[in-house]
Amino acid sequence: MPPNPLFSTYRSGENRVTSSTMAVFERIDLALVQELLETATAGAGELPTISFHNQVTIDEAVPDARISARFTWWFETKTVRGAYAGEGHGRSQLRAHMRQLDGDPSARLFVLTPDPVRPAWFTQVDGIPHQVRDRVLWLSFRDLATAIEAAVTNPARLVGEQTRFLL
């Protein structure tokens, strides 16, 4: 499957922003994408992605190594502030999206907005099963930009030229 085009062909602002963000994420190292999302969501904890293990014992057999992966990250982007301030399309849409998390403990829903602070609704999301509430992770455009800036300006981190340019 060809990569998403770097310059979005969508007309809707939300879709353009999401498409361009996904195109960049697709072209950089998954470990860096994971780090950026963990940093930008401040407290989301470690996001499960891929693991590498040597000498894994399974039912008296010991294969030399195992690489495993299992995660699903969903994204919802808003380009106007206050999209979740009151009851309406934004909240209804997220309630529908959150159903994707049920039954998949590795799934996360990232909600990206231009709001300067986390909308109050995210502290007590209603209409959502308790078992998935902690996997709905809000981040602002500023939080993501700050995480990106920290990663690319960290002298201890090697970031390739292409990745630096894309970010």
Question: What does the pLDDT look like over 64-121, one tens digit per residue?
Answer: 888 888 788 999 999 999 999 999 999 999 998 988 888 888 889 999 999 999 999 9
Mean pLDDT of 38-52: 78
- Residue 28's nearest CA partner among 113, 140, 152 is 152
Cα gap 105→47, rounded to integer Å: 11
Number of H helices and number of E strands within the chain? 6, 5
Residue 136 burial by Cβ neighbours in a 10 Å radius (0-12, 13-18, 19+): buried
The answer to whether residues 110 and 73 touch, using CB atoms and an 8 Å cutoff, is yes
Least confident of 28-32, 121-125, 147-151, 157-161: 121-125
- Residue 56, pLDDT > 90, answer no
